Structure 1
Amino acid sequence: MELYFLGTNAGIPTLQRNVTSIVLRLLEERRSYWMFDCGEGTQQQVLKSPLRLGKLEKLFITHMHGDHLFGLPGLISSRGYQGGTSPLTVYGPPGIKAYLETSLSLSQSRIPYKLEIIEHTGGLIFEDEGFKVEAGLLEHRIDSYGYRIVEKDSPGSLNTELLKAKGLKPGPLYGKLKKGFDVMTEEGETIHATDVLSKPKRGRVITILGDTRPCPGALHLSLDADLLLHEATFSQDLTDMAYQYYHSTALQAAECAKEAGARRLLLTHFSSRYSSFDELVPLLEEARSVFPETQLAEEFTAFPIYRR
């Protein structure tokens, strides 16, 4: 599991960075990936990356500002031309359904796969046996949401050496033990799952916030996150401007991570006034003064999400 960046800029694209698009790669967990926001030019960024649109399973939009969704109709259309046949689900705030249906209808786009569009106003928006996703309202000029992705705990590993010593060969009984059920050998011995199963593997928590200034919603979604992705549009000397435009500084992102008890912080959504990566270093230093485990997001770069 890792985060991969297709765009890290705020507002408009520049020669150095494209507008927002983030990918949560789940190749080992689901053989697919999820995308968060899809700014203009995202499909062009995909072509420069190792990603394949056919593997895109879910797409989450944080809010209805153009730098977060103008690339959506083109990407959805192109997915079919690039071999995408599996279903795709788009989640977003009210308005995303009308925006997509109008764009795709008027452009007479042909979508050769099942496209589901789900509007939400926060709360639990997805859950299956492996993951659940919660959305929460943030504080921005329009309704903007953050997403908390929770990987469910997985069973521990079987002590296969001990099982073989007890005469139990690999097969269906191994599966029952893995699920926590006791089994009985042909000799009548009961093998307790707790004796041959290690502790469950703790699931990871990833928080991906949309545009926001500091608010309780951001803190709630970030609690105990293994990785927090937070916007850092401005440096601390522009705190007043950040507040006026409903954005955050790098220092404010770090304060959120610290208060929430997050393990790592990634900064993104940088103002175009910081044209080069070197000009972002002061933002990184400001954040690290409060929260040392901070990194800057970089386009076409993967950031692994480690288990505790």
Structure 2
Amino acid sequence: MEFVFLGTGCPVVSTERYGPAQVVLAGDAKVLVDCGSGVTQRLLAAGVPGRDLDALLLTHLHSDHLVDLFQLIVSSWHQGRDRPLPVYGPPGTRRYVEGLMALWDPELTQRIAHEKRPSTAALEIDVTEIAAGQVLSFGGLAVAVVEVDHKPVRHAFGFVFEAGGKRLALSGDTRYCPALIKAARGADLLVHEVFVHREMPVVEGVRSAETVANVAGYHTLSSEVGKIAAEAGVACLALTHFVPPAADRDKLLDEVRADYAGPILLGEDLMRVDLSRRRVSHAGAVMGLGAPAGRSP
């Protein structure tokens, strides 16, 4: 099983960290999780064009996690996709997708009539609304749906992926969440969001003290995420959804290291983690994670 960070950012615009998105590869299965800004470019750079995806999973319906859905649909069609895109998401996903496609219907109708492409099946979206406790299956890849705490967002999920004897937990957007810790216990990799509160000062006309407190209140603080990984007993922790995107990497690593002694990855766009071979690759560099403490290689 392989995990690829496509976008490690947040709603704050960054040319280094695109919007939240990641893809999980296991055998022939290719599953995209979330489709933030720039996802189609990152998919192409990762060698997994939208044409080839088996499914899209949505953690929740915040704009930064699904803003490029229509771009994904259209670009996949232009790449020659010949089947509908299965989309799995929380309650409200069907209404969102139907509204999105209705909004763009005049443009699509014109394109279909004029461009005469061999198939329009890629423009048919197969929506399944999911609930906590469900287990989805994509070939040999099993995906357990975990409810996380992103209130006031009513429905928000994390996912636990399992294939080839490896387990990978993805937090989605959440504050400290016992249900996620339980589901992730003993995982080979926990990919978790992080809010670096010390680097989000009050800025007049941009964010007030109340803004900072409220945003921090439904995310996981950088002072908490190492404790979560330690409590879950995971073999490796990787951070993503950096708020702010340009957070000081050295200070963040030191902060998390104080609570978690295992390997820590600060995710970067297009970084790949191969769980089977315990390798991390990014920008031409390759690193072996080695055997986690107390486990055989």
**TM-score, normalising length: structure 1:** 0.75
Q: After TM superposition, which residue ranges in structure 1, 4 or more long, deviate above 6 angstroms?
A: none
Return the alpha-carbon distance in structure 2 between the equivalents of residues 55 and 129 of structure 1: 14
Per-residue displacement from partner, 1:222-269 (whole Å, max 9, x unpaired)? 11111110001215787x847743111233222111111111110011
Partner of 1:36: 33
1:227 aligns with 2:239: no
- Specify the code of the residue in structure 1 equivalent to 2:2: E
- % identical equivalent positions: 30
Pick the aligned partner of 1:62 from 47, 59, 69.
59
Would the aligned equivalents of 1:57 and 1:87 in 2 still touch at CA under 8 Å? no
2:224 match: secondary structure: helix
- The offset of 1:105, in angstroms, is 2.4
Return the alpha-carbon distance in structure 2 between the equivalents of residues 225 and 93 of structure 1: 24
Q: Which shows bigger deviation, 109-118 or 85-94?
A: 109-118
Would the aligned equivalents of 2:5 and 2:269 in 1 still touch at CA under 8 Å? yes
Query: Which protein has the larger Cα radius of gyration, Structure 1 or Structure 2?
Result: 1
Per-residue displacement from partner, 1:157-207 (whole Å, max 9, x unpaired)? xxxxxxxxxxxxxxxxxxxxxxxxxxxxxxxxxxxxxxxxxxxxxx11111
Pick the aligned partner of 1:270 from 237, 242, 263.
242
Partner of 2:220: 248
Return the alpha-carbon distance in structure 1 between the equivalents of residues 134 and 102 of structure 2: 30
How many residue pairs match? The answer is 251
Partner of 1:115: 125
Residues 51 and 74 (structure 1 numbering): CA distance in 2 closer, same or farther, change over 3 Å?
same
Partner of 1:51: 48
Partner of 2:274: 304
2:134 match: secondary structure: strand
Residues 44 and 130 (structure 1 numbering): CA distance in 2 closer, same or farther, change over 3 Å?
closer
Residues 37 and 77 (structure 1 numbering): CA distance in 2 closer, same or farther, change over 3 Å?
same
Return the alpha-carbon distance in structure 2 between the equivalents of residues 93 and 206 of structure 1: 20
- Specify the code of the residue in structure 2 equivalent to 1:149: F
Pick the aligned partner of 1:284 from 249, 253, 271.
253
1:270 match: secondary structure: strand
Unpaired segments of 5 or more residues in structure 2? 113-119, 201-211, 278-296
- Specify the code of the residue in structure 1 equivalent to 2:10: A
Return the alpha-carbon distance in structure 2 between the equivalents of residues 243 and 207 of structure 1: 23
Pick the aligned partner of 1:72 from 50, 69, 74.
69
1:134 match: secondary structure: strand
Unpaired segments of 5 or more residues in structure 1? 154-202
Would the aligned equivalents of 1:213 and 1:243 in 2 still touch at CA under 8 Å? no
